Amino acid sequence: MRGNSVLLIIGGGIAAYKSLELIRRLKERGVHVRAILTKAGAEFVTPLSVASLSGEKVYDDLFSLTDEAEMGHIQLSRSADLVVVAPATADLMAKVANGHANDLASTALLATDKRVLMAPAMNVRMWNHPATQRNLATLKGDGTIFVGPDDGEMACGEFGPGRMAEPLTIVAAIENALAAPGPLAGVKALVTAGPTQEPLDPVRYIANRSSGKQGYAIADALAHAGAETILVSGPVSIAPPSRVKLVKVETAREMLAACESILPVDVAVCAAAVADWRPETAANGKIKKSAGAPPPSVALTANPDILASLSKGARRPQLVIGFAAETDNVIQHAQDKRARKGCDWIVANDVSPSTGIMGGDKNTVHLITANSTEDWPEMDKKDVGARLAARIAETLKGKAA
């Protein structure tokens, strides 16, 4: 980290006191720190304390002619290697997510061309509010990196997520963000994840038990390795990884359309559990049951084959990877699927109920290629993602479009 420069934006919240320790820890590691102190932040820490620890002038006024002459907000926002917002309040997140620029902090964030790392801190109810969660998703989609918040007791006496991450945790996240470009720098990756939901009527649908955890872990690992990663996800209940652009879909047809709109890419990882069939006709109103009447019959029709479409299309990625979730003859079925779909690799696993893989945090996979079968030991899904990303980097080395 030595020799790098960080622009620290201190928002208004009781957690602002941790920003002083953060500055001290960064200075210990040879990081040059400039700080913007918001008006609300100055209610909790003083400009003098921030300046004393950083060894730099503290910036706080968008309309200061002296500051604009010495270090304009454009230059201030672009002179650092990384912009860090700690604490990132609900107000600051909302401003950036919606493109507001009415003070020095929000203007600098809107004007920067550098990566932004936010450490949120707020009341648990504010954090869980739909508006904050919408802003969080928007910011992540724009490439903002997040660290925290942690669970714990708040200054207000409530308990839950909302505590700002500890200074050393933020330092580790900064170090990671400032790291040299990963092995997949310059690579564009597409990942599909989660189930699809095929509507029977406005309130019912056909789906499966996929949690999306493995696909999300793969997207996170690819982004961590430096790839520009787009995640096309069916409905899941997990937060998207940082630095990953999220595209939400529901049906298989929507997922295929989203994937085709993202092409060309260097690598496509089709980890989604796409429904093979959908109701031929979805009812416009809720299907009602009548006493004594037999249940309605549902005619099914085939969904588009996303893996085969990407593998055999005119804009085929250099590397196409599919998944095979099987309950018997896992390797044989996976080998057959790889040949049938035309993809390069298949990641196969046994999803029998006794394995606990569907919805669980661990996975045991077999990597099927044209020439070999690799049996990987049981590991966390995050580790499966990291190992697969490493294999992708090894294969695509020097071949990115």
Report yes or no: 174 and 196 within 8 Å, Cβ to Cβ.
Answer: no
129: DSSP letter:
S
From the list 156, 259, 270, 343, the catalytic residue is 156
- Where are the alpha helices (H) located in 119-247, listed in sequence order? 124-128, 130-141, 167-177, 213-224
CA nearest to 234, candidates 270, 208, 272, 198: 272
259 is catalytic: no
* Cα separation values, 144 from 26, 82, 85, 104, 115, Å: 20, 11, 11, 19, 7
Report yes or no: 56 and 36 within 8 Å, Cβ to Cβ.
Answer: no
Tokens for 389?
């990303």
Measured CA angle at 89 (ends 8, 175), to 5 deg: 40
Rounded Cα distance, 261 and 353, in Å: 36
Dihedral sign (CA 122, 105, 134, 234): negative
CA nearest to 319, candidates 329, 310, 328: 310
Structure-token match 């009602």, residue found: 288
Which residues are catalytic, by number?
156
